[in-house]
Amino acid sequence: MRKKRTLCVLGFFFIFSVMSLFGVDTNTSSPKINMTPELKKEFPIKAHHEKLSLSCTDCHEGQGDDPKDLKLIGDKGCLSCHKTKQFLADRLKFMDALHTNPHNSIHDGPKLYCDECHNEHKPSENMCLSCHSNDVKIWMRPTP
Amino acid sequence: MIKKIFLIIKNNILLMGLVGILIGLLSSWILYEGLHRTSDDRFCIVCHEMKPMVAAYHNDVHGGNGKVGIKVSCVTCHLPHDNVIAYIATKARNGVVEGAIHFFGNPDAINWQANRANRQHFVRDEACYGCHTNYKTNEAISVKGREMHEHYASLKGTDKEISCASCHVEIGHKGLRSMLNYYKPEYEYYKGKLDTKKDEAEKKLAEEMK
């Protein structure tokens, strides 16, 4: 009887240690994704991010190590480096004088979602173009 | 007799030493004062074509627009500090080149907007972490910021090395792109339409430079 209890306790102890080990493993390790040329072609990143040698996990934190499973990072992800929408709007203040600041537009202010215009792994789309198709290029450069 | 001559020599050596020390001190003082007085925006702007840069610098915490009013001089960020000879040589060369452009060249032809892309070349990292010594551990910096600073440090010395200004694009000159546009619009569309902004900036700058 006593032996059985000891065995049970030991068993629980063993199971919990293994579980905690796995738990620790998934929480702290930041998986390194090996960027092959094929993956690079499939998930191209913007030149300005490439120049900083950013890796997938710098943006896709805690999302595992399979590039195909990585999810959108949303505004919170973008702004973890790019500060705030107001900060970005202020950087283009000269455009405010003619109401052409895309980060502080006359319609939406500094409130748009980042990915309404900027895409990371495919060409960006400038939302202004959907109405101002003829004149956008005379007051701003292509969307990064 | 021999004793007397020895004494005079001894005295002379002492005298020579004293004179030497005096000359040494005097020349280092002149050098120090010379370097110090030719290091701030007031002096640099005389020859360097940089009104918009100085105007934007005055908007930045580095230019005295912070809560505590600390101001770093132009040379702090823009000259090498790892070696005093390189520092003086770069300062002298820049002075001559910029002076020549100002007086004999064509300053209007400088493409300021294009030069913004070369910011890494104009800013010295050792100056940044000379003051921001705990940039990797300071908890006032966001978690992401500290992670990125680790990333910066890990690339140091490799062929992928980046610099502080790679990410901190308008550092030291808040609103630089806008200020450059007030002076020299990057698009035809804005030409002549931002002149009031330029006048405002000029007026503010003139007051600050008084």
Q: Are residues B6 and B98 located together in one domain of the fold? A: no
Mean pLDDT to the nearest integer, B22-33:
96
Mean pLDDT to the nearest integer, B70-78:
95
Q: Are residues B161 and B185 located together in one domain of the fold? A: yes
Query: What is the sign of the dihedral through the CA atoms of B81, B87, B93 and B99?
Result: positive
- Tens digit of pLDDT per residue, chain A (144 long)? 567 776 766 666 666 665 655 544 444 446 778 888 999 999 999 999 999 999 999 999 999 989 889 999 999 999 999 999 999 999 999 999 999 999 999 999 999 999 999 999 999 999 999 999 999 999 999 999
Which one of A32, A56, A84, A94 makes the best mutation probe of the B interface by having the most chain B beta carbons within 10 Å? A94
Mark yes or no for CB contact A93/B178 under 8 Å.
Answer: yes
d(CA A100, CA A120): 23
Give the pLDDT of residue A25. Answer: 44
**What burial class does residue A84 get, using C-beta atoms within 10 Å of its C-beta: 0-12 exposed, 13-18 middle, 19+ buried?**
exposed
Task: Tell me how many domains chain B contains.
Answer: 2
Q: Are residues B28 and B55 located together in one domain of the fold? A: no
Q: Are residues B54 and B115 located together in one domain of the fold? A: yes
Q: Are residues B12 and B100 located together in one domain of the fold? A: no
Chain B: residue nearest A138 by CA? B189
Q: Which CATH number characterizes residue B145's domain?
A: 1.10.3820
B147 contacts chain A (CB < 8 A): yes
Looking at every residue in chain B, the average pLDDT score rounds to 93
Q: Are residues B85 and B27 located together in one domain of the fold? A: no
Q: Are residues B106 and B145 located together in one domain of the fold? A: yes
Per the domain annotation, does B126 fall within a domain? yes
Q: Are residues B94 and B146 located together in one domain of the fold? A: yes
B170 contacts chain A (CB < 8 A): yes
Per the domain annotation, does B43 fall within a domain? no
A52 contacts chain B (CB < 8 A): yes
Chain A residue numbers touching B120 (CB-CB < 8 A):
none
Q: Which of A84, A77, A128 is nearest to A106 (CA)?
A: A128
Instruction: State pLDDT tens for residues B145-161.
Output: 999 999 999 999 999 99
Per the domain annotation, does B201 fall within a domain? yes
Q: Which of B48, B72, B46, B67 is nearest to B124 (CA)?
A: B72
Q: Are residues B26 and B57 located together in one domain of the fold? A: no
Q: Are residues B34 and B121 located together in one domain of the fold? A: no
Q: Which domain holds residue B136?
A: 48-209
As a dihedral over the C-alpha atoms of residue A58, residue A63, residue A65, residue A70, rounded to 10 degrees, the angle is -90
What type of residue sits at position B44? Answer: C
Q: Are residues B62 and B145 located together in one domain of the fold? A: yes
Name the pLDDT band for B77 (thresholds 50, 70, 90).
very high
